[in-house]
Chain A
Amino acid sequence: MKSKNRLSKIIAFLVLLAVVAMIFVANTYSKYATNASGSDSAVVAKWSFTVNDEEIAVAGDAKTIEFNLFDTIYDSNGEEETDVADGVIAPGTSGEFEFALKNTSDVTAQYAIKLDVDNTDIPLEFSFDGEEWASDLTNLIAQDNLAMDASKNVKVMWRWAFGADTATDISLSEQTVNVSATIDVIQANAHDELRKVTYKLFPELETSLRETVPATSAIQTIAPFYYEDVDLFENKNLTQISMYVKNVNYKDDYATMKISTINAPESFVVGANAPTTFLETYTIKLPSSYFQGETNIGRWVDIDLTQYAYKSDGTIATQGIQVGEGETLAISSEKNDTIVWNVDQSSFETQPFYYNNAGKIAFSADSGLNFLFEYTVYLENTDEDNGNTNEDTLLNELKGKKLSILGDSISTYNGVSNNATYNSTLSGNATYYGAVSYTSSVSQDETYWQQIIDTFDMELNVNNSWSGGTVTGIKNTNKAINRASQLHNVQSEMPDVILVYVGINDLRYDQTPELFEEGYTTMLNTIKTNYSNAQVFCIGMPNRNGNDYENGEYTDEEAITFNTAIKNSIEAVNGKFYYVDLFNSEYSNQVYFDNSINTGSQNQYTNSTLDNLHPNEIGMDYMTEIIIDRMNEVLIENN
């Protein structure tokens, strides 16, 4: 009986335990859960390069290689030298040494061979090809790409001309000369198939402004370049600088000035000096012959930096001034610099890099400086001849093409968008810009669309823009749905490129996103039907940064909803339509309707608009930049 009781107790205890366990771990038992993992590995590509069968890709210091340039000394005609003692050089001798280069890496390599000579009194000349001879070794470089497993032999040749200057030759008797060769090998980036896009920061300086002499005290209180403007410089090669040069002085036969690249500060502090950590300093050196020895210049000068800018190592910046990501430019003037351009350079003598008292770099159109950039864009090889065809620029791809605009007041210009000689339907169009009733300072050349036309060297086909115009016709009957079929000119010439910037009035008049999207889709379908070959850039609604034309016109959220509608329409219509993101661009957020640099001196509006809605010439510049960037992107993608 006793043992039966014990057995019962044990069973009861086990049952209890099981119940408790089930309660506590019920979740585990009752949930589905799965885990899976995957991994992938990659091996780093090998770096290996041999010179005369000797590996030079070694860790640590540079490898020393044999360079027996003077081992064999020949007569100047290349035959055995019988008139000079063994092992010494003299007028009428020559020689050579060959480097056998082999790229044994897993990557394409680029080599550059440079020479250095320690005794330039001896009139030796050097060459890598036997055709181009130089005694100044600064620009004598043998440089090329070597594909994986490829090899190449490069000769270094020297000669001492016979009988050129007997007196000098005699004075060199028993002197020693040492020639060293440096072979730099770097991994080649796949960007040798580059095309270049040139971009002028102030196109107007090419024309009208050049007729006037900029004011000598023209360091601007509102300079166009400060840290938000990094995009204007970064990742670009500055290839030309245009400046109004007052006068120059020559030192050692050169007039000089300096431009440096710096890391763009996160913020500029009013009154503070610019950063003085220079990434690279370029010296522009103009020989006196450049100005025919003149010292009073007083005119605009275009300086080709690929020819006249020198890097700190003394070599010519053949690619121009290279501005990397997050970098900007600072201009320098030291007392020794002798190119005097039209600003108050006295400040430069106390601080090497001048920022104005608003904390901004004093580069501006009015200060008499202009820059020409080359974007370097990278394209996939499409054929063997595609590489390095610099003439084949993206600019040229749109050269002479016809551009039409479908817009509202922001795109109008009196005498253009209401001029029936372009299109017979245009005559009644209400205009904003250039109209007598508005005191707009924006000239036609400063409008975003004219700047785009000028940049790409296109022609205006039709500007069908209507002040107050909407997409859908809400509160305004001049709807873009109807006007979308009137973008060809009276000669029935079709547009190649169409800019569509309309919708902001629909937004202001509280059109519903649904009807807006429906209307926008209809509009794009009309364009597609009528102008099937055109590339169409649909410009989205801007972020007005809280600066409504009239308070409460629309919120950022509403603008985003409309932009989504535009993107939906583009997708639905499925043609050559490209969205231009005005809202999320750096300029739109920070500068296009910028209220941070509102000086309040001229009006109550933001610094880049006429009325918090219509861009002034500053806002137009930013719009231009955003749209051109997008157009370039599309051109690249389509290549």
Chain B
Amino acid sequence: MKNTKTMKLIAFALLVTVIAIILVAGTYAKYASSASGSDSAVVAKWDIKAGPEGNEVSITGDNAQVAFNLFDTILDEDGTAETDVTAGKIAPGTSGAFELSVRNDSQVNAEYGISFNLGETTIPLEFRVNGGEWASSLSSVSTTALNMNASSIAKVEWRWAYEAADVVAGDVVDTGLGIATPEVTVTATLNVSQVD
């Protein structure tokens, strides 16, 4: 029991000594320095914008929607204004294009690719992407680098020939479509990912 009391005293004395040392430390030291360090980090921003050039909007997460106004402006096949077709409708001899701008406002480098889905259609549209070969299907935009602060444009063009290579057969098909007036939907899916 006495032992315990002694221990308590010693502990108390030690405590007082330590406190005293702490409180008056500066006084004891001739040379004294102190240093401290801290660090913090902010996570790099991920900000991808897409849409018509000049009107790109942020797309975040999965399944965001982006404007893809492929049929907004329908022109004559020679690129001039279409005056012979009701506005908003496509017909043989019409054409159009859309430029999808993708901008990387992130703090990391990225890459993007675009795939297209034409759906089921019998309309003899032809497409080309970024000035490639005209084809009846839409070829994907292969993975393309998109560095920080950079932007890239994917140009999708379509046309419906006024006269098909086989004029007679083509006219039959076109006429059938004009009577049935089907709808065609083109979907573009943009995938953007950070690159290491």
Q: A residues touching B (Cβ–Cβ < 8 Å)?
A: 31-48, 57-59, 105-108, 148, 186-191, 324, 378-381
Which residue on chain A has the smallest CB distance to residue B191? A35
Chain A residues with CB under 8 A of B68:
37-40
A43 and B188 within 8 A (CB): no
A378 and B89 within 8 A (CB): no
**Shortest distance between the CB of A105 and any CB in chain B (Å):** 7
Say which residue of B106, B183, B194 sits within 8 Å of A44 (CB atoms).
B183
Chain A residues with CB under 8 A of B178:
44-48, 57, 105, 107, 187
B189 and A35 within 8 A (CB): yes
A selection of 23 A-B contacts at a CB cut-off of 8 Å is A31-B194, A32-B194, A34-B193, A35-B190, A37-B189, A39-B186, A40-B70, A40-B72, A41-B186, A42-B71, A42-B88, A44-B89, A44-B123, A44-B177, A44-B180, A45-B86, A47-B179, A48-B178, A57-B178, A106-B85, A187-B91, A189-B76, A189-B162
In angstroms, Cα B98 to Cα A324, docked, is 28
B80 and A38 within 8 A (CB): no
User: B108 contacts the other chain (Cβ, under 8 Å)?
Assistant: yes
Chain A residues with CB under 8 A of B98:
40
Chain A residues with CB under 8 A of B46:
32, 34
In angstroms, Cα B72 to Cα A337, docked, is 54
User: B129 contacts the other chain (Cβ, under 8 Å)?
Assistant: no
**Shortest distance between the CB of B182 and any CB in chain A (Å):** 6
Say which residue of A32, A39, A105 sits within 8 Å of B193 (CB atoms).
A32
User: B133 contacts the other chain (Cβ, under 8 Å)?
Assistant: no
In angstroms, Cα B178 to Cα A187, docked, is 10
Which residue on chain A has the smallest CB distance to residue B187? A39
B183 and A36 within 8 A (CB): no
Given pairs A32-B46, A37-B66, A47-B175, 16 additional interface contacts (CB within 8 A): A32-B106, A34-B46, A34-B61, A34-B64, A35-B189, A36-B192, A37-B65, A39-B117, A40-B185, A41-B185, A43-B183, A44-B90, A44-B184, A45-B178, A107-B85, A191-B78
Say which residue of B60, B63, B184 sits within 8 Å of A42 (CB atoms).
B184
A45 and B181 within 8 A (CB): yes
B194 and A33 within 8 A (CB): yes
Say which residue of A35, A39, A108, A187 sits within 8 Å of B185 (CB atoms).
A39
Which residue on chain B has the smallest CB distance to residue A33? B193
A43 and B189 within 8 A (CB): no
5 smallest beta-carbon distances between A and B, as pairs: A47-B178, A38-B68, A45-B89, A106-B86, A39-B187
**Shortest distance between the CB of B28 and any CB in chain A (Å):** 47
In angstroms, Cα B178 to Cα A186, docked, is 12
Most chain B CB atoms below 10 A, which of A37, A48, A190, A380: A37
B175 and A31 within 8 A (CB): no
Say which residue of A31, A42, A43, A187 sits within 8 Å of B93 (CB atoms).
A187
A45 and B85 within 8 A (CB): yes
- The 8 A CB mask of B43-60 against A (1 = contact, 0 = none) is 000101010000000011
- Give residues 82-112 of B contacting A (CB, 8 Å): 82-86, 88-93, 98, 100, 106, 108, 110
Say which residue of A48, A188, A380 sits within 8 Å of B80 (CB atoms).
A380
Chain A residues with CB under 8 A of B190:
35-38
Chain B residues with CB under 8 A of A189:
76-77, 84, 93, 162
**Shortest distance between the CB of B144 and any CB in chain A (Å):** 15
**Shortest distance between the CB of A487 and any CB in chain B (Å):** 33
Chain B residues with CB under 8 A of A379:
80
Which residue on chain A has the smallest CB distance to residue B67? A38
In angstroms, Cα B93 to Cα A378, docked, is 13
In angstroms, Cα B177 to Cα A59, docked, is 10
- Give residues 134-182 of B contacting A (CB, 8 Å): 162-163, 171, 174-182
In angstroms, Cα B177 to Cα A31, docked, is 47
In angstroms, Cα B74 to Cα A41, docked, is 12
Chain B residues with CB under 8 A of A187:
84, 91-93, 162, 174, 178
In angstroms, Cα B84 to Cα A381, docked, is 12
Chain B residues with CB under 8 A of A41:
71, 183-186
Chain A residues with CB under 8 A of B171:
186
Most chain B CB atoms below 10 A, which of A38, A40, A43, A47: A38
